[in-house]
Amino acid sequence: MDRALPPQQASRTFVRVLARAEEPPDVPPGSASRVLVAPVALGTKFHPPAARRGTVDRTAVVELLLASTSPVVTLVAPPGYGKTTVLAQWAARRAPQVAWVSCDTADNDPAALWLAVATAVDAVAAVGPAASRVLSARGGGVDVVAAFVAALERAGAPMTIVLDHLEEVTSQQSRAAIAEFVMRVPVGWQVALASRERLAIPTARLRAEGRITELGPVELAMSVQEAEALIAGADVDARPDERLAGELVAVTEGWPVGLYLGALSRYAGNPLQESAVGGGDRWISDYLRAELISTLTEDEVLFLVRTSVLQRLCGSVCDAVCETTGSARRLEDLLARTMLVIPLDSHREWYRYHHLLHEHLLGELRIDHPEEIPRLHRRAAAWYEANGGPEEAVEHALAGGDVDRVGRLVLGLMSGVWASGRAGTVRRWMDWLTLHPSTEHSAAIMAHGALMYALQGRPVEAEELAEVAERLPERGTLPDGSTVAATLAYLRANLARDGMSAMRQDASAAVGGLSPSSPFRATMVHLDGVAHLLEGDLEAADAALAHATDLAVAHGTTPLVSLVLAERSVVAMGRQDRAAAASFARGALSLVDDGGFEGYWTSALVLAVAARAAALGGDIAAARRLARRASLLRPLLTYALPVVSVQALLELAHAYVGFAEIGGARAVLSQAAAIVQQRPRLGTLPDALEALQARVGPVAGSPRGVSSLTAAELRLVPLLPTHLSMPEIGEQLHLSRHTVKSQVISLYRKLGVSSRSEAVARMTQLHLYS
């Protein structure tokens, strides 16, 4: 049986790329060591299609590209203009400093797109874990692009990055990130973008700045000489001449696929009507039927139509989908008979259909055999699951409506995929499962999904999924041996909606039902210790937190280790043991800094505790720096995860008081008060909040300074240096134009500036941008 690793696993099958080996991330996912996973560099995700007999050398257009010094190159033309072929030949001339990515629908999650780019670049010139850490900590949105590009620059020598088939990328988030990327191409680097459709990049600005080379249908059209070469390689039984090539070029206007199909038609004795040119999809479909489909047997046509549900094909997956044998030989035969079947590797194990043929076949399948589509996808899902392609299996299972398989696979994948920064992918799966909550693992999946939203600072979505989880049956056991009931108890403990006693009881119930190997146990022991802390039992709190430290270390969940050490610093502070508090704070901070975890939800408490300890130790400069870093995480601190969120805000307020930043203290106390209003049963935290509010006194006048920014205003900070307009920033944050305008005006006033450029300069000066 053909068990070759699927090239699509280049974008879906994952390997660890960080230097250290760690266990799967703890949950909540943001409290885990988010070990970034990267695609295995196989197949055409990271390589152009292999050249084959009959491919025409596009010398003129390739020379045009080689002569370009523009940082941005675009090839935008309808299907059949040979964009991929041109880029492949150009890349071969620029080798080896070329990183190639063939985009697919997975890249609608921007983190997945940049993970692919990082992997492609790393295969050419090692960049280390820096780019991966940026994505795993912060995702792949437009606000992350600057830091991601800076990490890529560590590759050293200038690179050429090719993003082919960008028409597959349709999400607003990925398109905005790509637009930001082209505006930040490093000096000496080039990025080439190929698409059937107009690119969503600031083309006018790039033109005005002389930073773009644009190729369209006119530049990509074939000359008469190239048409002769194409006809010569079209496997027709006649010798082409210049007159015929010129005639075909005139009729097709140099459209390569039209030339190819036209040549086949002429040698079959059929006239090529000039009126057919421009007929688009209908014209292509007619010729595919007449010149390709009509030459095949009924069995061969059925094979093509059924396997059109696959993006890439090998013998064994086609055997599985068609429930037949001999597919590998059939693919070889089709390759020999048409240029529309394309090999993806030198071993001729993997293939794809030309995009025009693929779309035609899918259309035929939808019209003639719609009832077969779910069955075909389910068979493909089963094959990919059995052959090490779990994410491909998920996609086919989604298309086939296989709820049980989707649930089983997503349960095993979601934490790792989330940990890689690809939150958008997990959200898409969750949205689908919310509409199909019939799998036996649905409650556990929704529980984990709720916590993932909570860690992103999205409390409304977290509450909605939590409600879905709690309505579903608690019966069942998960593949790792944990019970569904324990997973729901784990969710309730994190949400802490019913006070400290209930949180401790839920944590205990979760520990009792979780698998002994489950990394989630450390989180529950941590919350048990926090419950004791917030009930005033410092001895029991420290004992539980020490145990949680050991468990977290054993599972390699470094961010959780840092969080627990920060909690132990809080306990030591409660005992008036400043030396121990400072020691724990230093240990927690070093883990965050060494691991690159400063963007994680867990790090808010670590940075706030370290800032307070520095202020108490008299190092005011360090305290200010740490407080600023902590403040950037304030948008993540919400009532969805109320306990640690309020703890972090109160510690940050103590730090601000320590270096007399009263405006900052009032801002974070106001945020803490809003959480306590939603979750009043948080042990000693409401009293601590009230005491600090009394200490700093009432608000007098308009607050000033970066520390006085609200959480909503802080969400604007990473977006201001981007190319996005204010309305587009509003779209990114799901805010109205009026709301964005009001928040920007308030932000400018607090910073003492009057323009966006001044605000960015001021925040850069304050080291708010990494």
Q: What is the pLDDT of residue 128?
A: 74
- pLDDT, average across residues 222-230: 86
In this structure, are residues 630 and 648 in contact, taking their beta carbons and an 8 Å threshold?
A: yes
**Domain stop point among 673, 701, 729:** 701
Is residue 706 included in any domain, yes or no? no
Pairing of strands 14-16, 37-39: antiparallel
How far is Cα 186 from Cα 209, in angstroms, rounded to an integer? 15
Average pLDDT of span 688-702: 84
| pTM (global) more than 0.85 | no
Quick check: is 207 in a domain? Answer: yes
Note whether 745 and 674 are same-domain residues.
no
CATH number of the domain that residue 754 is part of: 1.10.10.10
Provide the CA 569 distance to its chain's centre, in angstroms: 34
Asked whether residue 94 is assigned to any structural domain, the reply reads: yes
Q: Assess whether pLDDT exceeds 80 at residue 26.
A: no
Query: So what's the pLDDT on residue 615?
Result: 95
Q: Residue 420: its pLDDT value, please?
A: 83
Assigned domain for 359 exists: no
Residue 4, in any domain of the structure: no
Structural domain boundaries enclosing 748? 712-765
- Residue 412's contacts (CB-CB under 8 Å, 6 or more residues apart) are 390, 479
- N- to C-terminal Cα distance for the chain? 51
Map residue 98 onto helix, strand or coil. strand
Q: Based on the domain organization, do 216 and 228 belong to the same domain?
A: no
Q: What is the mean pLDDT of residues 289-307?
A: 82
pLDDT at residue 689 tops 90: yes
Domain end marker among 276, 291, 306? 291
Are 80 and 171 within one domain?
A: yes
DSSP for residue 184? T
Residue that is last in its domain, among 662, 680, 701: 701
Helix 442-455 with 484-495: angle, nearest 10 deg: 20
2 belongs to a structural domain: no
- Kindly tell me if the per-residue pLDDT of 749 is higher than 60: yes
Evaluate whether residue 408 is within a structural domain.
Answer: no
Q: Model confidence over 185-200: pLDDT tens digits?
A: 999 999 999 999 999 9
Mean pLDDT lowest among 8-12, 192-196, 250-254, 643-647:
8-12
Banded model confidence at residue 415, pLDDT cuts 50, 70, 90: confident
Task: State the alpha helices, DSSP H only, in 233-276.
Answer: 242-252, 256-267
- Residue 644 has phi, psi (to 5 degrees) of -65, -30
Greater pLDDT, 474 or 672:
672
Q: CB of 199 within 8 A of CB of 136?
A: no
Residue that is written with structure tokens 């020379």 in the block = 63
Residue 329 lies in a domain: no
Asked if residue 101 has pLDDT above 90, the reply is: yes
Residue 327 CA, distance from chain mean position: 34
Count of domains observed in the chain: 4
28 preceded by cis ω (within 30°)?
yes
Q: Kindly report, residue by residue over 7-18, the tens digit of the pLDDT.
A: 333 333 222 222
> Is residue 232 located within the same domain as residue 216?
no
Mean pLDDT along residues 716-729: 92
The residue-averaged pLDDT of 438-444 equals 84
Q: What is the pLDDT of residues 326-359, one digit of tens each?
A: 999 999 988 887 767 888 877 788 888 888 788 8
* Same domain, residue pair 138 and 241: no
247 and 132 share one domain: no
